[in-house]
Structure 1
Amino acid sequence: MDKHFEISLQNRKLLYSVLKDTPKDVLCSIPSGFKNNIWWNIGHTVTVQQGLLYGLSGLPYTMNMEVANKFKKGTVPEEVPTDEEIEAMKGLLFSTVEKAQTDYKAGKFKEYSPYETSAKVTLNTIEEAIIFNGFHEGIHLGTVLALLKAVHHPKAV
């Protein structure tokens, strides 16, 4: 499973770069044809990883639930983040993956509640959740890149 965590960290590095190098007004902009923004997509990747791994294993999230509730499935961007919230998210991008890898290696994910994702994939084990999480994060990285392009940001690929 180490490779899956490695891939997740690489994805998070790309998201971190966007978060670090993109002005707040661009992070929060919702271009025509989109229902969310860059900021929401980044927070959503962190939150969903917590839900898929910790929540469905009956374990507490390793991030603040008030923050997680802003980005969970079915939410939309509601407010402009503070500079402190942006800085905190930069840290969460890495700490949540590193903690999950440590907890996985320590055998902390003992139970798993089966879950059918929006993509109609049923997850039955923590390993399946870790693998699916990479797929999910890839979708949202693609959305972030599309949003950058839609707002004509120079970081767009």
Structure 2
Amino acid sequence: MFMNFWNQQKNIFNRSHVTLIKMLKSIAEVVANHQPKGFNNSLHWNVGHILTINEQLLFLLPNHPTEFPLHYIELFGQGTKPTEFQENVPSLETLIDQLIDQKTRVEELAVQGFDLKLTEPLLLEPLSLETNGELFNFAIYHQGEHTGFINALKNIVEIAEVQN
């Protein structure tokens, strides 16, 4: 039963990832970098943020091996914004490639660690994430939330382009 649950969670994550990647491949870089009035971040930032937070939740916190560029945390981590970008900002195409790679690495995560307790819980008020599985579930939620932001930003920017 547990193995079925784990496989179901990975399938949900993969479906969300595939949907995101398909949407991103249809977006021009100029659209991705535009930050509409009233929004804190650009579509490009949201893509990097999904990649970065997934990497933190699924690989860095549970101590799984990763070759993730740690400077991404300074670019796309919680509380950052694209107006603070200075240099070494990966292109949208690079981020998409890294999301594809991340999906493959998530598929390879071993089921044995799903219920392992973290050294310290990750506190995200009102949540307290205490196991690798809880981190994974939050990653699914977080990715879906930001995929929605990306879709909204895409529509707003594309509508504005048509009107201009």
Scaled by the length of structure 1, the TM-score of the pair is: 0.81
Whole-Å Cα distance in 1 between the matches of residues 9 and 98 of structure 2? 18
| Structure 1, unpaired ranges of 5+ | none
Is the alpha carbon distance of 1:42 and 1:141 closer, same or farther for their aligned partners in structure 2, counting shifts above 3 Å?
Answer: same
Q: 1:52 aligns with which of 57, 62, 65?
A: 57
Tell me what 2:9 maps to.
4
Aligned: 1:21 with 2:20: no
CA distance in structure 1 between the partners assigned to 2:25 and 2:88 by the alignment: 14
Deviating above 4 A after TM superposition, structure 1's stretches of 4 or more consecutive aligned residues are: 79-82, 106-111
The code of the aligned residue for 2:124 comes to T
Amino acid at match of 2:101: S
Q: Any idea what the Cα deviations from partners look like across 1:65-108, whole Å, max 9, x if unmatched?
A: 123431111111126987x7333212211221321331334649
Query: In the TM superposition, what are the counterparts of 1:68-107 in structure 2 within 5 Å?
Result: 68-77=73-82, 78=85, 85-105=91-111, 107=113
Q: Larger strand proportion, structure 1 or 2?
A: 2
Q: CA RMSD in A?
A: 2.7
> In 2, are the aligned partners of 1:62 and 1:96 still within 8 Å (CA)?
no
User: Given that residues 113 and 132 in structure 2 are in contact (C-alpha distance below 8 angstroms), is that contact kept between their aligned partners in structure 1?
Assistant: no
Q: Distance between the aligned counterparts of 2:129 and 2:109, measured in 1?
A: 19
Q: Out of 133, 136, 140, which is 1:134 matched to?
A: 140
Tell me how far apart the structure 1 counterparts of residues 11 and 35 of structure 2 sit (CA, whole Å).
Answer: 31
| Alpha-carbon spacing, 1:61–1:103, altered in 2? closer, same or farther (3 Å) | same
Q: Which one-letter code corresponds to 2:62 in the other structure?
A: S
Matched, 1:125 2:131: yes
Kindly name which structure, 1 or 2, has the bigger radius of gyration based on alpha carbons. Answer: 2
Aligned 8 A contact 2:123 2:129 in 1? yes
Give unmatched runs, 5+ long, in structure 2. 1-5
**Matched length:** 152
TM-score (norm 2): 0.78
